[in-house]
Amino acid sequence: MRLLIIAIFCAQILMAQSRKATLIYVGDPMCSWCYGFTPEIENICKKFESQIEIQMIMGGLNTKQNLPLNAEMKASLKEHWEEIALSTGQPFKFNILEKKGFIYNTEPACRAVVTVREIDSTKAFAMFKALQSAFYSDNVDITQMDELANVAQILGIKKEDFISKYIQEDLKTKTKEDISRAERNGIDGFPALILLHGAKVIVISNGYEKADKIEKSLKKHLKL
């Protein structure tokens, strides 16, 4: 009996040690600073691979827009994207801004990430990054369902499976719940990182930050 108790106790210790902290990434696939942040978060994921697992929450940057871009909005976005390209080194193209009737509404792309998360949670972050590249680097119009399904297909998700899930009303609801969750945690800037460690909920960043600053904060809170 004593040996059994010792064995169970040791197993519990090993399980506790193997548990990873959760790093929630709050962002939007069409958020330009989130796209600029991609090399930083990839660096963090690589350095803390054995300590954290990443989960995606959609923050909903611009989910209620229903009007096409006018000349002033196009110029403003182009200037903003050029600034981020200069600051982060990420490649941007600008032809999408000239697409006739283009509406800069980020709800479809956010819902696409939530859809993939529902189908296979391990592919949510990959979908997020793939959508960013498709939009900013290749100027694919990811406000369109068919284009979203094409990106999901690259990740090994059947187009028909993605679409059948994506069009369900509960996916719209779950996307709104993501946005509400971000707001409840005091997130008002993207990209943002929230660390769940034991019973603690810690906002690591609320807006763009370099990887070295995030690394210091994570090491402090994870006691590494």
pTM: 0.89
Tell me the domain boundaries of the chain: 20-222
CATH 3.40.30.10 fits 20-222, yes or no: yes
User: What pLDDT is attached to residue 1?
Assistant: 46
| pLDDT, tens digit only, all 224 positions of the chain | 444 333 333 333 334 444 789 999 999 999 999 999 999 999 999 999 999 999 999 999 999 999 999 999 999 999 999 999 999 999 999 999 999 999 999 999 999 999 999 999 999 999 999 999 999 999 999 999 999 999 999 999 999 999 999 999 999 999 999 999 988 888 888 999 999 998 899 999 999 999 999 999 999 999 87
Other Cβ atoms closer than 10 A to 40: 21
Q: Which contacts of 213-220 are long-range, i.e. CB under 8 A and separated by 24 or more positions?
A: 214/40, 214/44, 215/44, 215/47, 215/48, 218/23, 218/44, 218/48, 218/51, 218/52
Return the pLDDT at 224: 75
pLDDT of residue 219: 96
CA distances, 12 to each of 2, 9, 41, 51 (Å)? 15, 5, 31, 18
Does residue 29 have a cis peptide bond before it, meaning omega lies within 30 degrees of 0? no
Reading the block at residue 143, the tokens are 């406000």
What pLDDT is recorded for position 14?
Answer: 38
Tell me whether strands 192-197 and 21-27 are parallel, antiparallel or unpaired.
antiparallel
Nearest to 179 by CA among 111, 103, 104: 111
Comparing CA positions, the residue from 189, 196, 208, 187 lying closest to residue 41 is 208
Q: Give the burial class of 117: count Cβ atoms within 10 A of its Cβ; 0-12 exposed, 13-18 middle, 19 or more buried.
A: buried
